[in-house]
Amino acid sequence: MHRRAALIALAAVAAIAVLVWLASSGGPRAPQPQAALTEQAPTPTPAPEQRIMLLFAGGDGLLHPELRSVPLPAEVDERIRVVLRELLAGPGAASRLAPVVPYAASLEAVFIDEQGNAFVDLSAPPEPLAGSSTELLLAYGVVDSIILNCPEVKAVQILFGGREVATLAGHLDLSRPLALNKRFIAGS
């Protein structure tokens, strides 16, 4: 997969999302045909709840799993969105764990290429991060959480603010997709 193509595709996804949002939220709308009272509009079947495993930072500087039940769509890109939404929301209220992304990040876009590489675009940190431990837990917390719950994904590249970065804190090579790496999960 050419990363440049992935970035273009990400931009295209973002552009389409903006268009859809504009079309659905503003501007004059054509009158919609009324359905007959006797006919019920088909309601989408809610995604079945499934258990997912999320990885959060422990006080030992390693990743620790937390299980959570959430509606999980069938489409892989939607599943990635759900996993990342839950991951970015942080550990449960009673947990002693900490978020792996140590700032209020949001997921901007997701793209998957034909080789199974997922490209996820997170909002950039407000200030430089420090420490290889911080960098490793962020990267593999995201990468491993996605791949463990979406086996179709072979590797994940994290973009920040729509850009690929060589490294986030001066250590880990983030310039290409990272595969599952359980070395930083406690007990592995």
Partner 1 sequence: MKPKLTFLLTLAICCGTLSAQETTGALEFQFGERAVVAPRFGTKVEVVPVLELVGAEVTYSQAAGAWGVVLGEHVLQFATGHKVLLVDGTLHEAGEAPVPSPGGVAASLPYVERFLLSPLGLRLEPIAGGYRIEHGARFADPVTIRPAVADFGTTTTLVLTLSRAAAVTAVEGPGGTVEVRFADAAPQLDTSAPFRSRRVRSITRHDAELSIQLASGIGLLSWRSLDDPPRLTLELGPARPTPVPAPVQTLPLGDSGPRPIVLDPGHGGDDVGARSRDGLVEKELTLALARRVARALEARGYRVRLTRDDDQTRALTDRTALANRLDALLFVSLHANASTAPSVTGAETYYMSLDGPSDAAAAATAELENRAGQTAGEPTALDLILWDLAQAEVLNESAELALAVQGRLNALAGTRDRGVRQAPFVVLTGATMPAVLVEFGFLSNPDEARRLAEPEHQQQVAEAIAAGIEDFVGR
Interacting residues toward partner 1 by CB under 8 A: 1-4, 57-61, 98, 102, 115-117, 128, 130-134, 136-137, 154-155, 166-167, 169-173, 175-179, 181, 183-184
CA torsion sign, 130 to 90 to 6 to 184?
A: positive
Compute the distance between CA of residue 58 and CA of residue 47 in angstroms, rounded to an integer. Answer: 31
Closest CB 134 distance from partner 1, rounded Å: 6
Residue with Cβ nearer partner 1 (1 or 82): 1
Residue with Cβ nearer partner 1 (50 or 133): 133
Q: Which strand (E) or helix (H) includes residue 67?
A: strand 63-71
Q: Which residues contact 76 (CB under 8 A, 6 or more apart)?
A: 112, 150, 152, 153
Residue with Cβ nearer partner 1 (83 or 169): 169
Closest CB 181 distance from partner 1, rounded Å: 7
Residue 169 token pair: 């804190």
Closest CB 122 distance from partner 1, rounded Å: 16
For helices 132-149 and 76-89, the axis angle rounded to 10 degrees is 140
Residue with Cβ nearer partner 1 (27 or 126): 126
